[in-house]
Amino acid sequence: MTQPQTPSPEILAFGEAMAMFVAERPGELADVERFQRRIAGADTNVAIGLARLGFHVGWLSRVGSDGFGTFIRRTLEAEGLDCRHLRVDPDHPTGLLFKERAEDGADPRVTYFRRGSAASHLAPGDTDGVDFTTLRHLHATGIPPALSPSARELSRHLVEQARAKGASVSFDPNLRPSLWSSEADMRATLNGLAASADWVLPGLAEGRLLTGCDSPEAIADFYLERGAQAVIIKLGPEGSYYRGILDGQLESFTLPGFAVVEVVDTVGAGDAFAVGVISALLDGRSAREAVRRGNLIGSLAVQVVGDMEGLPNRERLAALETA
């Protein structure tokens, strides 16, 4: 008897998931003897966060034919992600990173081993089998385009196909300048992708670097004039700024961030913010409610060591939003 097919994902995310080793105690990596194994990746952080909130999220990527790749697949599937588009690359390894344990809320230093990784060999052909007609939303970041020319073409192809089939698109620049051959190439590529997105979510420093504009208002207008529908700018502890067009009317506002007693690890805060904004907009909530949820989930992320361990499920989120 033929088994029924699992429905295609309503949300698709793509990029590089890596095996991450976090130091058990503060100090330089050269002095650390013990690490905790986790997974890392800005794109997977968002995918996991949306899956925890009950969305059917697909993950498109490549991992190596190694234990780390198996670990990543098992972890993502345990989080509820649909990994039908996660391919095993027999010729290239899974990327790795090692992260120091920072103190007093400082940004931890990270050492990557990702050059030539399986995910860096992503290409448009990896979208074979993706049913864009059932896709409701695509989340993209500036990391895959930085990995390689073929991954850059994949990013463009996914955004183009998603838009052509009527899916909404969110774009977080997630700048990784060290992966680019030049700043000019980075700016041109990422601004091009942002112009094809509905919702653009840069940090203030990222927006300044990419657009050459200084104020949140000017950064937002840069992208709105190029086709974006809304720009939500992360302002760190100060909160976030929204500027967008709804029903032909321009709406702008700033919402303060949530107070955090102790900042443990800032990595992943921007991804958590994206989870909040995207989930709320897909839930049909207002722009203010979406930005508030982004600020809320972002504040949860900085209170834990891991990149995505602080992301809530739907029940916890509902409790926090009504508190």
Three-class DSSP labels, the chain? CCCCCCCCCCEEEECCCEEEEEEEEECCHHHCCCEEEEEECHHHHHHHHHHHCCCCEEEEEEEECCHHHHHHHHHHHHCCCEEEEEEEECCCCCCEEEEEECCCCCCCCEEEECCCCCHHHCCHHHHCCCCHHHCCEEEEECHHHHHCHHHHHHHHHHHHHHHHCCCEEEEECCCCHHHCCCHHHHHHHHHHHHHCCCEECCEHHHHHHHHCCCCHHHHHHHHHCCCCCEEEEECHHHCEEEEEEECCEEEEEEECCCCCCCCCCCCCHHHHHHHHHHHHHHCCCCHHHHHHHHHHHHHHHCCCCCCCCCCCCHHHHHHHHHC
Tokens of 111: 């050492």
Q: What is the C-alpha to C-alpha distance for residues 199 and 181, in angstroms, rounded to an integer?
A: 27
Residue closest to 13 by CA, chosen among 117, 181, 138, 130: 138
Neighbours of 126 (CB within 10 A): 23
Residue 31 falls in the annotated catalytic set: no
- Name the one residue in this structure whose structure tokens are 């390894």: 93
Of the candidates 247, 271, 283, 307, the residue annotated as catalytic is 271
Catalytic residues, by residue number, are: 271
